Amino acid sequence: MTRELTQSFKTDPTARRVPAPGIALPFTPSTPRTAPSANATGSVAFPDGFLWGAATAAYQVEGAAHEDGREDSVWDVFAKVPGAVLNQEDGEVACDQYHRYPADVALMKDLGIQAYRFSTSWSRVVPGGREVNPAGLAYYDRLVDELLGAGILPWLTLYHWDLPQAIEAESNGWVNRDTAYRFRDYAVTMHEAIGDRVDVWTTLNEPWCAAFLGYTGGQHAPGRQSREDGLAAAHHLSLAHGLAVQALRERAPDANLGITLNFEVEDPLNPDDPADVDAARRLDGGFTRIFADPILRGAYPADVLEDVREYGLEKHIQDGDLEIISTPIDSLGVNYYHGNAVAAVPAEHPLDGGAPVTRPSSSPFPAGDGAYTHPRGLPVTDQNWEVQPEGLTRLLLRLQQDYTGPRGIALYITENGSAYEDVAGPDGFVDDQDRLGFVDVHLRAVKDAIDEGVDVRGYFGWSLLDNYEWAWGYGKRFGLVRVDYETQERTVKASGRWYGQVARANAVPERSATPASYPADDDGGDKAVRKA
């Protein structure tokens, strides 16, 4: 049987939410942990009520890109630019979840997954950023009802990078302050439609990617390469978050409101070298603190403002913006994949984790000149991302101490996962021990943080399904469930079967068993390994 949730995801509407202190923090490097923790081996139990989920995003799984009134997002257009996406692949069909969501929900139920983190498509709900599309809203109405009928918590994200193309083309996208207010209106539209059944609302997913990969580096849609535009977009995304939180709080005082940020741990390659420390500081400021400090502390870090002064960030910061941006939230979503060793000199043999596309791009860091990442001899995923679970422990401790703990904000791991070159057997089954091991060591790292006092309340594996991986197209697979893109057949991988066992037991088992010995569920069936 699926373990029932023992935790409410509504909030106390009378609770006093702690305002931001209005003071940013300097960069302080931490030290990598080398000694095994108490959770490194054996079975590891998680606290009662810990939430086990899986995540996807609209453009990556839905498909139906031009059905029922949906119009182009910036990604529909960017995917058509020659050389921008591997094999010029797009999300026109993706995983076809728009049509197959009942089977996907049933699959999650069979696995014992308790929450589904999905995003809604602004381009489906408000095509072109103009009039509300009833057919687009109806899809999410059906999806939410299907999830609730299966006993699965809907964990809704309003924005996962798919800005309506018309807003980009006609209004300058996130570079335009007005887009933040249009996002607030879209958030209200979604809440009016399904707010009676959805308790958890995440405003943005990884605004760093939307701002700096999209407007400064050019690796993501809309593909611009401007440091000035990226910084303007970053501020307006943060403003959009704050405006949406205020609007949703007014309409739903007991809703659980939050944002998801992506984090890395930037370690100076030589902590005794001031140049390496400064290089790590600049990447940390341009990746973590440029969003975490305004949102969670109500101020931009002074060193970040100085680093980017020539690119005009401060001209976009109006009176009252930081109070809006730092409006109290209930939850912070943490996306973590890897950390970095950073130096002031280039690596002799750097790891390139970007997609091998032909369209030129540039650094997404406005202040990243002269800062270089170096390999450390750690294992790497199929994307050349180093596997560094202890970095997650250190990150969570930092967030608890500096950001969320003082304001009573709960932490959730909203994305964590890995791409590997899966090899499917004749029946489609993938014995992905490398991915299983990745999740295992990161869950143990989460428990280390919990044992040291961090308020982590849940974990969402990325991703439920193999899906469209942005500039990589369909070239990288992160799924707990394999998708045959030609037939859309779903087959649960070894990691998915294992993760279902973890969710049902609320514990990570000893790693002494082979994948075949992990039962799909404790009802005696093989439902979780069926094909959908």
- The catalytic residue among 206, 228, 266, 386 is 206
The DSSP element (H or E) to which 201 belongs, if any, is strand 200-205
In the structure encoding, which two tokens stand for residue 306, read together?
Answer: 């100085």
Half-sphere exposure of 518 (CA within 13 A, CB side): 28
- The catalytic residue among 146, 266, 386, 415 is 415
278 burial via Cβ count (<10 Å: 0-12, 13-18, 19+): middle
CB–CB of 469/426 below 8 Å? no
CB atoms inside a 10 Å sphere around CB 405: 15
**Residue that is written with structure tokens 């209004």 in the block:** 171
DSSP state of 212: I
Looking at residue 263, its amino acid is: F
CA-wise closest residue to 504 among 527, 520, 492, 491: 520
**Residue 278: C-alpha distances to residues 27, 30, 32, 371, 375 (Å):** 9, 14, 18, 8, 18
**Residue that is written with structure tokens 């049933």 in the block:** 106
Looking at residue 443, its amino acid is: L
Would you call 206 a catalytic residue per the annotation?
Answer: yes
Looking at residue 52, its amino acid is: W
Dist. CA 418–CA 438, nearest whole Å: 7
Would you call 67 a catalytic residue per the annotation?
Answer: no
- Residues annotated as catalytic are 206, 415
